[in-house]
Structure 1
Amino acid sequence: MKADKNIKILIVDDNQNNLMSIEVALEKEGYSFSRALSGREALRILLHDQNFSLILLDVKMPIMDGYETAELIYERDSLKDIPIIFITAHDYEEAAMFKGYRAGAVDFIRKPFNPEMLRTKVAVFAEMFRKNQLLKRQEEKLKANNQELVLLNTELESRVNERTAELLELNTELRALNLSKDRFLSVISHDLRNPLSSILIAAEFLNKNAARITPKQVLNLSGIINKTAKEVLQQLNDLVDWAMKQREKSRFSPSKLDLRNEIDQSLELLSSLANQKKIGLENNVYDKICINGDEHMLRSILQNVITNAIKFTPAAGAPISITAAKVEDMVEICIADNGAGMSNDTLNALLDLGGSKPELGTDSERGSGLGLLLVREFVSQHGGSIAIESQLGAGTKFRFTIPFYVEV
């Protein structure tokens, strides 16, 4: 028979011959044995080794009999699952058996014992131990599988949440793209069609009445054509610029930028536009404020916002002021004018993803309405935010944030 050293049996008897007899009767089964000559010695062994499959315990022993020993053994929770078979030289009297079962016995064997009977009874408990061990392993495996399932479920939930967030972000981008498309079509269908119609009407009038119109009428009509053609060209330039920025906006390349210097360069490009309306441009940003930004995107943000401020500031109006202040890990840039300002309805429509209809400037300047979309997208790519304060007749303050540059 294959040895089963996993079955450990503690034999307790005050007689060495009895210990030897039990071991000899069971040795062919391949069990592992420990011996104790008294109840106290058994308790000492169990104090250091609790991994026994079965205890064979003699009832009649000096100082501490088998019943007392069993009661002390079962006082420990870690030992309560070890079955005890009492070995007794007495008859199976009902009172003695009741006392033994109350002490924790699972069976009795009478001395002198029948070896075959002993092997059979021990084999039953050995098999029970094996099955219990198998159940424990299966329980541990099931527990591990359950933990793995919990982890997989948590991971799945996390992936679903991430995917949901990605879909929501894509949905937001899709809405912005649809809005951009609508704005693009609006510019083509309305903002370009109307001035082209004006050019066509003036040209048709010249063509039909060339022989009898006065020089003054020619001057007036040519002025209309010239001015309207410039507006159409500006609209086309805005569209081309917007389309190019749409393609290039993914090329986000932030670096250390001197904010005052960047604003100076933008103001230089816009000075001729401001001079036409006799409006001053003031760079009130302190020296040595550095930001972590994309140079081309920052230039586009500044030019769009400052151009808009010029557009809605009356000729010879108060200067447009640019200031900046550090707010935690960001720099807030403010472009303030004292121009026409906006009503709450206009402001809310403007903040609604740039969905408002472009309004004429103080000198009837036209805009494509695409500027705020670009500004919003570029500020967002920097991880910044936009805020607008405005009041009719009291001007507008346009604020946006860009990360402060931190030396590494």
Structure 2
Amino acid sequence: MEHNYVAERQMTAESGIKILLVDDNENNLLSMEVVLEKEKYAFFRATSGREALRILLKEEDFSLILLDVKMPIMDGYETASLIYERDKLRQIPIIFITAHDYEEAAVFKGYQAGAVDFIRKPFNPEMLRSKVAVFTDLYKKNRLLKRQEERLQAINQDLLQLNQGLEQRVLERTIELEGLNQELKALNLSKDKFLSVISHDLRNPLTSLLASSENLSRNAEKLQPEQIKMFAGIINRTSHKILDQLNELVEWAKEQREKTSFKPQNLRLRQCINESLDLLRENARQKVITLENQVDDNLYIHADLLMFRSILQNLVTNAIKYTPAGGGTVTVTARAVDEMVELCIRDDGVGMSEKTREMLFSQFNAASLMGTSKEKGTGLGLLLVKDFVATHGGMIRVESELDKGTCFLFTIPKKKINFVL
């Protein structure tokens, strides 16, 4: 029998329904256990209010407290008041066990102390079991609701973490796509630059080469030996310069892909200008236009050779293009301004209106990638010029009036001096 009792207590402990019995009479405690034992509750006994408080210091998760009202030293009302002073114990229902009549004042005092019900001694077993069952069932339901709430909170937390993870992945993917988009834009820009450089830096020398070869082929029998030698010299020099520029462009395209294309160096300005003008003289000659280099021979700049050549040839080509045939001059001048050198490419051509000047360097004006002679604007070439000048830390502007010519002015850094200590 003792073995079965121990087993039952073990099972009740596992059920989690704990009841604290408080009465100064051991027989009363035993009677309550006997009546309630079949329901598989776990009982804790206390024979005084102080002992009950000591138990509650160690155990807090009781389903119910059955508390005798009349006890020595500390009665049930005082004990209940002290129990409910602790926040963690306020949710435990207390049923008072009393041998007195249900006087209104006593009942009021009991409820004021925190009681949820009264049971009179000697108690009716069925009534005791019934009332205890009500509160233990309520405890089970509250415990179930609490567990469900905890599960719901855990699920919400998992969903929140999942959502945060998805948002993070979306953000990372967005950043990745933005990076790829920027790379694509950079590749497209490099492609546009490369095509524009080919268009402006190679097409005009090729035009000169073709014009000389056509004259030589068409008028070979009529030309004097000196003229034949002149055209042959033009073809030879231009061909070599085109080959040199083509090799430079191939290397430049490779460096663009590797993002190492900007390589400034100290350059003798007059020499660089002469090399570019030589490639354009035949184009100018066909329109009876003179190209003049009025730059001082002792002036140096610190610039990327290919970019500077492209800037200069673009601007001179445009000057030739918009200067009417029959006599005109395109002049290149330069002057030192603080740490920069300001160059001016001036023509006495058709000029341009204020509206045209305002939109000159805009993307809207880049009407044609290859800059054909039919376009009204200056095309992608000027966008490339602006980009190359900005890469050097310089500025570009234009001064022009209709029928009075145009002057493009841009700045390039001066030669850098290396001090030797």
Fold similarity call, TM over 0.5:
yes
Map 1:266-345 → 2, pairs under 5 A: 338=341, 340=343
Confirm whether residue 3 of structure 1 aligns to residue 11 of structure 2.
yes
Confirm whether residue 27 of structure 1 aligns to residue 32 of structure 2.
no
Residues 335-361 of structure 1 show CA distances to partners (whole Å, capped at 9, x for unaligned) of x7646389xx99x889xxxxx999xxx
Residues 255-297 of structure 1 show CA distances to partners (whole Å, capped at 9, x for unaligned) of xxxxxxx99xx889xxx989x99779999xxxxxxxxxxxxxx
Assess, with a 3 A threshold, how the Cα gap between structure 1 residues 235 and 77 changes in structure 2: closer, same or farther.
same
Q: Are the counterparts in 2 of residues 8 and 31 from structure 1 also a CA contact under 8 Å?
A: yes
Confirm whether residue 396 of structure 1 aligns to residue 404 of structure 2.
no
Confirm whether residue 87 of structure 1 aligns to residue 92 of structure 2.
no
Residues 82-116 of structure 1 show CA distances to partners (whole Å, capped at 9, x for unaligned) of 01111112233444333322221112222112223
1:224 Cα deviation after fit: 2.6
Map 1:72-221 → 2, pairs under 5 A: 72-221=82-231
- Residue 328 of structure 1 corresponds to none
- Residue 406 of structure 2 corresponds to none
CA distance in structure 2 between the partners assigned to 1:33 and 1:398 by the alignment: 98
Structure 2: stretches of 5+ with no match in the other structure: 1-7, 276-294, 316-331, 346-357, 364-368, 372-380, 398-408, 416-421
- Residue 63 of structure 1 corresponds to 73
Assess, with a 3 A threshold, how the Cα gap between structure 1 residues 189 and 43 changes in structure 2: closer, same or farther.
same
Assess, with a 3 A threshold, how the Cα gap between structure 1 residues 303 and 120 changes in structure 2: closer, same or farther.
farther
Q: Are the counterparts in 1 of residues 195 and 370 from structure 2 also a CA contact under 8 Å?
A: no
CA distance in structure 2 between the partners assigned to 1:169 and 1:198 by the alignment: 43
Q: Are the counterparts in 1 of residues 386 and 396 from structure 2 also a CA contact under 8 Å?
A: no
Q: Give the superposed CA RMSD.
A: 4.7
Tell me, what secondary structure is at the counterpart of 1:213? coil
Q: Please give the TM-score of this superposition, normalised by the length of structure 2.
A: 0.62
What percent of counterpart residues are identical? Answer: 55
CA distance in structure 2 between the partners assigned to 1:304 and 1:182 by the alignment: 16
- Residue 48 of structure 1 corresponds to 58
Assess, with a 3 A threshold, how the Cα gap between structure 1 residues 176 and 54 changes in structure 2: closer, same or farther.
same
Assess, with a 3 A threshold, how the Cα gap between structure 1 residues 82 and 118 changes in structure 2: closer, same or farther.
same
Aligned length: 335
CA distance in structure 2 between the partners assigned to 1:187 and 1:390 by the alignment: 20
Assess, with a 3 A threshold, how the Cα gap between structure 1 residues 190 and 273 changes in structure 2: closer, same or farther.
closer
- Residue 236 of structure 1 corresponds to 246
CA distance in structure 2 between the partners assigned to 1:398 and 1:10 by the alignment: 96
CA distance in structure 1 between the partners assigned to 2:41 and 2:183 by the alignment: 73
Which one-letter code corresponds to 2:393 in the other structure?
A: I
Tell me, what secondary structure is at the counterpart of 2:95? strand
Assess, with a 3 A threshold, how the Cα gap between structure 1 residues 302 and 235 changes in structure 2: closer, same or farther.
closer
CA distance in structure 2 between the partners assigned to 1:149 and 1:231 by the alignment: 68
Q: Are the counterparts in 2 of residues 388 and 398 from structure 1 also a CA contact under 8 Å?
A: no
Assess, with a 3 A threshold, how the Cα gap between structure 1 residues 158 and 386 changes in structure 2: closer, same or farther.
farther
CA distance in structure 1 between the partners assigned to 2:392 and 2:93 by the alignment: 78
Residues 37-70 of structure 1 show CA distances to partners (whole Å, capped at 9, x for unaligned) of 1122212222232221110001111222212221
Assess, with a 3 A threshold, how the Cα gap between structure 1 residues 211 and 368 changes in structure 2: closer, same or farther.
farther
Which one-letter code corresponds to 1:397 in the other structure?
A: P
Assess, with a 3 A threshold, how the Cα gap between structure 1 residues 169 and 182 changes in structure 2: closer, same or farther.
same
Which one-letter code corresponds to 1:120 in the other structure?
A: S
CA distance in structure 2 between the partners assigned to 1:176 and 1:398 by the alignment: 29
- Residue 404 of structure 2 corresponds to none
Q: Please give the TM-score of this superposition, normalised by the length of structure 1.
A: 0.64
CA distance in structure 1 between the partners assigned to 2:411 and 2:61 by the alignment: 86
Assess, with a 3 A threshold, how the Cα gap between structure 1 residues 176 and 394 changes in structure 2: closer, same or farther.
closer
Question: Which has the larger Rg?
Answer: 2
Q: Are the counterparts in 2 of residues 304 and 371 from structure 1 also a CA contact under 8 Å?
A: no
CA distance in structure 1 between the partners assigned to 2:110 and 2:53 by the alignment: 18
Residues 140-183 of structure 1 show CA distances to partners (whole Å, capped at 9, x for unaligned) of 22222222333333333232222222222222222222222223
1:388 Cα deviation after fit: 1.1
Assess, with a 3 A threshold, how the Cα gap between structure 1 residues 90 and 398 changes in structure 2: closer, same or farther.
farther
Assess, with a 3 A threshold, how the Cα gap between structure 1 residues 122 and 244 changes in structure 2: closer, same or farther.
same
Tell me, what secondary structure is at the counterpart of 1:147? helix
Assess, with a 3 A threshold, how the Cα gap between structure 1 residues 387 and 81 changes in structure 2: closer, same or farther.
farther
Which one-letter code corresponds to 2:413 in the other structure?
A: K
CA distance in structure 2 between the partners assigned to 1:309 and 1:180 by the alignment: 16
Q: Are the counterparts in 1 of residues 190 and 256 from structure 2 also a CA contact under 8 Å?
A: no
